[in-house]
């Protein structure tokens, strides 16, 4: 189905991009046939590597004229198949658009290209005392363009908000090749908030080629405390109490016994052995953090924490986070295979939902370990299984889908931060009513009437989902995707 890529079109692309900017050799295309969701693989018809907005515009003009679908790709670390090529598509690899274009410290802004690696933004402004807040765990390898596509979060988005809070303005090439400016460097611009709708649109509305990001002053101090509880419910209650107390920690994470054990086996963070570990990070001026920490410790103790341990220095804090960030990969120490699920529930529903999950896991004779962005109600259940036991993988997949059902039934969501992409598109109709999905589709068509920009993603389609199927889900494993640390 790569018939649209005629020699004339290829020659035109080569003319736009130069010899180095066009990949068509089958062995080189393999690199681009999947992202972090390695269970799905489709080789693209070609890969282009533009270096400027103008080149992206020319590419999209060709795609538009020839009706060739395209898929933009950052670092390919996504976990939901958002950068999976569509059959016959051109992949637009943005890794060469990796320049920092300008830094404006007085207005706390930085302008970058989409291929810039997340942690390089902070690196660029760190000498002046600033940082870029969104911190997906893959931040040392994932790109800002990909972060925008997925509206990436991270442990600290509890306090600082998701990517959408930190992108002020973007240059976007629309699927017909028009170049537009979405958003504004100033607050509350007139007109529709098109930047807000583009961020998190998973590549379906066009290609962002330049973005102005908000940078923030580094806090004077950062402190992390570990609190050990006998039950997840007690830890969850502490999270609710901290939020109700008018404190806003930078991060609040819960790990259960199995994930603590896995982390110990993997990176030895020396966590207290307990049923539920609550990790709370506070940041701000020293005096404020001291005051807040006293309140937080008091709340934990009132909820039954039998140990509250402050990470005494930068090294201790680093080790605490290393354990938490390694939790997924560490699941490989507990089990030959596992599925990482990503769902959201109202914070207050945590005890009830966990009880259900545990009962469901027991019913399937499977082990499930849990790590949570507890402040946001974002669950990451990890279903452990052994592919060599007949039928176990199928039961694990089924369980992971039923966990999403439980999340939705509790008033929650099918994904907190990994995105819909290819993985969960069939679950969208379980979460949204038909008119809601149709309204999104209308918006999509208003940007992309020919359905060329990352088609067959995000929304359920009869071809992929059948008439009313939820599950085209397939497990992904961090060993195979090569990503060491992912939330």
Sites for a copy of itself among residues 406-435 (CB under 8 A)? 411-417, 419-420, 424, 428, 431-433, 435
Q: CA distances (Å), 434 to each of 402, 416, 419, 431, in order?
A: 21, 21, 20, 10
Kindly state the DSSP code that residue 114 receives in the 8-state scheme.
Answer: T
Binding to a copy of itself, residues 203-262 (CB under 8 A): 217-220, 240, 243-246
- Closer CB to a copy of itself, 170 or 368, in the complex: 170
Q: Does 201 bind a copy of itself (CB under 8 A)?
A: yes
- Closer CB to a copy of itself, 32 or 130, in the complex: 130
d(CA 82, CA 200): 11
Residue 28 neighbours by CB distance under 10 Å: 10
- Closest approach, Cβ 443 to a copy of itself, in A, equals 5
Among 310, 410, 423, residue whose Cα is nearest residue 357: 410
Binding to a copy of itself, residues 433-452 (CB under 8 A): 433, 435-440, 442-447
- Closer CB to a copy of itself, 299 or 420, in the complex: 420
When computed from its CA atoms, the radius of gyration of the chain, rounded to whole angstroms, is 23
- Closest approach, Cβ 404 to a copy of itself, in A, equals 11
Calculate the CA 138 to chain-centre distance: 9
Binding to a copy of itself, residues 49-108 (CB under 8 A): 106-108
- Closest approach, Cβ 9 to a copy of itself, in A, equals 25
- Closer CB to a copy of itself, 76 or 153, in the complex: 153
- Closer CB to a copy of itself, 32 or 430, in the complex: 430
Q: Residues 18, 285, 336, 466: which binds a copy of itself (CB under 8 A)?
A: 285
Binding mask 297-336 for a copy of itself (x = CB under 8 A): ----------------------------------------
Q: How far apart are the first and last CA of the chain?
A: 36
- Closer CB to a copy of itself, 36 or 416, in the complex: 416
Cα torsion through 337, 374, 199, 457, rounded to 10 = 30
Q: Residues 7, 191, 390, 462: which binds a copy of itself (CB under 8 A)?
A: 191
Rounded to 5 degrees, what angle do the CA atoms 328, 412, 456 make? Answer: 75
- Closest approach, Cβ 165 to a copy of itself, in A, equals 9
Q: Does 125 bind a copy of itself (CB under 8 A)?
A: no
d(CA 169, CA 86): 29
Where does this chain touch a copy of itself (CB under 8 A) — which range of 268-276, 285-293, 317-325, 470-478? Answer: 285-293
Among 128, 141, 64, residue whose Cα is nearest residue 449: 64
- Closer CB to a copy of itself, 24 or 248, in the complex: 248
Check if the beta carbon of residue 458 is closer than 8 Å to that of residue 422. no
Among 474, 341, 348, residue whose Cα is nearest residue 416: 341
Binding to a copy of itself, residues 455-474 (CB under 8 A): 458
Give the total of residues touching a copy of itself (CB under 8 A).
81
- Closer CB to a copy of itself, 337 or 370, in the complex: 370
Instruction: Read off the tokens for 445.
Output: 């068509």
List, in sequence order, the alpha helices (H) in 364-456.
Answer: 392-409, 428-431, 434-447
68: phi then psi, degrees, rounded to nearest 5: -100, 125
d(CA 186, CA 183): 9
Binding to a copy of itself, residues 133-162 (CB under 8 A): 151, 153, 157, 162
d(CA 409, CA 346): 11
Positive or negative: CA dihedral 288, 252, 311, 297: positive
Binding to a copy of itself, residues 358-417 (CB under 8 A): 376-378, 411-417
d(CA 447, CA 181): 14
- Closest approach, Cβ 267 to a copy of itself, in A, equals 28
- Closer CB to a copy of itself, 266 or 303, in the complex: 303
- Closer CB to a copy of itself, 114 or 416, in the complex: 416
d(CA 469, CA 454): 21
- Closer CB to a copy of itself, 179 or 484, in the complex: 179
d(CA 25, CA 32): 12
- Closest approach, Cβ 343 to a copy of itself, in A, equals 10
Q: Does 196 bind a copy of itself (CB under 8 A)?
A: yes
- Closest approach, Cβ 393 to a copy of itself, in A, equals 25
Q: Residues 188, 359, 462, 467: which binds a copy of itself (CB under 8 A)?
A: 188
d(CA 401, CA 407): 10
């Amino acid at each position: 189905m790569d018939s649209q890529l005629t020699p004339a079109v290829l020659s035109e692309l080569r003319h736009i991009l130069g010899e180095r900017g066009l990949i068509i050799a089958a062995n080189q295309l393999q690199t681009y046939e999947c992202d972090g969701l390695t269970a799905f693989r489709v080789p693209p018809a070609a890969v282009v590597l533009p270096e400027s907005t103008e080149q992206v515009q020319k590419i999209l003009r060709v795609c538009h004229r020839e009706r060739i679908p395209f898929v933009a790709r950052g670092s390919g670390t996504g976990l939901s198949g958002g950068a999976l090529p569509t059959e016959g598509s051109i992949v637009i690899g943005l890794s060469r658009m990796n320049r920092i274009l300008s830094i404006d410290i007085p207005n706390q802004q930085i302008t970058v290209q989409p291929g810039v690696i997340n942690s390089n933004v902070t690196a660029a402004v760190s000498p002046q005392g600033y940082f870029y807040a969104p911190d997906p765990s893959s931040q040392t390898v994932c790109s800002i363009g990909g972060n925008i596509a997925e509206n990436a979060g991270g442990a600290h988005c509890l306090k600082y908000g998701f990517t959408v809070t930190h992108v002020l303005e973007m240059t976007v090439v629309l699927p017909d090749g028009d170049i537009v400016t979405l958003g504004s460097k100033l607050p509350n611009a007139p007109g529709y908030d098109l930047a807000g709708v583009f961020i998190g649109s998973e590549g379906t509305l066009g290609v962002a080629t330049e973005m102005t990001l908000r940078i923030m002053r580094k806090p004077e101090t950062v402190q992390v405390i570990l609190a050990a509880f006998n039950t997840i419910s007690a830890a969850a209650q502490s999270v609710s109490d901290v939020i109700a107390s008018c404190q806003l920690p930078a991060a609040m994470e819960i790990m259960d016994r199995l994930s603590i054990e896995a982390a110990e086996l993997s990176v030895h963070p020396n966590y207290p052995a307990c049923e539920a570990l609550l990790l709370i990070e506070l940041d701000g001026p020293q005096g404020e953090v001291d005051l807040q920490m006293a309140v937080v410790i008091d709340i934990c103790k009132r909820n039954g924490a039998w140990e509250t341990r402050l990470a005494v220095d930068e090294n201790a804090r680093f080790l605490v986070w290393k354990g938490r960030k390694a939790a997924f990969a560490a699941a490989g120490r507990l089990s030959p295979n596992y599925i990482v699920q990503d769902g959201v529930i109202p914070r207050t529903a945590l005890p009830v939902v966990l009880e259900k999950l545990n009962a469901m896991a027991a019913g399937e004779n499977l082990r499930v370990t849990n790590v949570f962005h507890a402040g946001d109600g974002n669950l990451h259940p990890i279903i452990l299984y052994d592919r060599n036991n007949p039928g176990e993988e199928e039961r694990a997949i089924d369980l992971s889908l039923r966990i999403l059902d439980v999340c939705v039934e509790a008033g929650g969501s099918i994904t907190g931060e990994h995105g819909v992409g290819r993985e969960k598109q069939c679950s969208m109709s379980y979460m949204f009513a038909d008119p809601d999905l149709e309204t999104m589709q209308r918006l999509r068509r208003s940007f992309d009437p020919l359905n060329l920009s990352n088609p067959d993603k995000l929304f359920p389609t009869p071809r992929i989902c059948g008439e009313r199927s939820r599950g085209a889900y397939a497990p992904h494993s961090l060993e195979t995707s090569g990503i060491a640390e992912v939330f």
